[in-house]
Amino acid sequence: MDCLRRQPLQTIETPECEARLMSVSILVLTKNEQKDLPGCLASVAWSDDIHVYDSMSNDATIDIAKTYGAKITQRPFDNWASHQNWGLQNIKFKHPWVFYIDADERMTPELATEVRALSAAPGNPVAFRVQRRDFFMGRWLKHVQTSPFYMRLFRPEHLRYERLVNPISIASGPVGQATAYLDHYPFSKGIEHWLARHNSYSTLEAQQIAENRRAGGDFSIRKAFFAKDFHEKRYHQKELFYRAPLRPLIKFCILYFAKRGFLDGRAGLTYACLQTIYEYFIVLKTRELAQQQRY
């Protein structure tokens, strides 16, 4: 770390400093990502340890990964938390710090520089959140996102994931925050692909709700606000939202009005509507699961 103190990051030239600033492994999750993977891998080509963690692709994904010199691990996908936790526990990373990225995401040059600096002199944090910019219809969705912060740079032994879909990152230590952006293109394969993917996600969300209810017991509004145990409190807070009448409409109002998604123009309105449809899929499938369990 002395090299970081002696001179600004952009002027580092010594081999020792350069090697230490490259010491971040990259983890890319894939399933039939031949369209997006080249751009993703190009954005992380500065790393000397890139891992493509593939869910049995049947397109050119693996060939593309080999072209970029990535190490390949394949495993059939079961659910998000299980799949990601298995990867952190079983993939042999070269470096202590790992940056996780999806195929439809791109590291900006500023983020690549910052990630290398943070890994070289992290201080107390065992993980760092990164702000993601989602792009749709040629525009950054600056306001309408639910949350733009994601834990992406971490020491794998200090991180685990929970939930079947849209997993929550749990760090066993302090968490810092990067300032540069990670760019995300969720509609790179078109609206049809986005809808098909979120139709699948909604099935897992409904299953997650059913699983939470089996494990969490009876719902309590009091516990949603006053339970001392974090996990118990989170369960009842989620149930409070899941049981809210007209939940898809509530989500639209939150995204479009409370978070000022209208400032994102037509792209913001379209995205808020798509998220409302997704939420309604979850409502319908949750009801269907509940009916199946009664009979």
All structural domains of the chain with their residue ranges: 2-184, 191-294
CA distances from 201 to 77, 80, 207, 258, 279 (A): 13, 10, 10, 25, 10
Phi and psi angles of residue 131, each rounded to the nearest 5 degrees, phi first: -85, 125
Q: What is the pLDDT of residues 256-271, one digit of tens each?
A: 999 999 999 999 999 9
The whole-number pLDDT of residue 12 equals 42
- CA dihedral (95, 101, 103, 109) positive or negative: negative
Q: Regarding beta strands 149-154 and 97-102, do their DSSP bridges make them parallel or antiparallel, or are they unpaired?
A: antiparallel
CA distances from 126 to 117, 174, 256 (A): 14, 6, 35
Strand-pair partners of 229: none
- HSE-up (13 A, CA, CB side) for residue 116: 22
Residue 265 is inside which H or E element, if any?
helix 265-294
| Residue 53's pLDDT band (cuts 50, 70, 90) | very high
Give 2-184's CATH code, choosing from 3.30.365.10, 3.40.980.10, 3.90.550.10, 3.40.50.2300.
3.90.550.10
Question: pTM of the predicted model, to two decimals?
Answer: 0.88
Question: CA-to-CA distance for 147 and 58, rounded, in angstroms?
Answer: 32
For residues 289-293, give the mean pLDDT: 90
Q: Is the pLDDT of residue 273 over 60?
A: yes
Q: Is the pLDDT of residue 171 over 80?
A: yes
Question: CA-to-CA distance for 43 and 47, rounded, in angstroms?
Answer: 10
For residues 226-245, give the mean pLDDT: 79
Q: What is the DSSP letter of 104?
A: T
Residue 249, both tokens: 């409409």
Question: CA-to-CA distance for 271 and 259, rounded, in angstroms?
Answer: 13
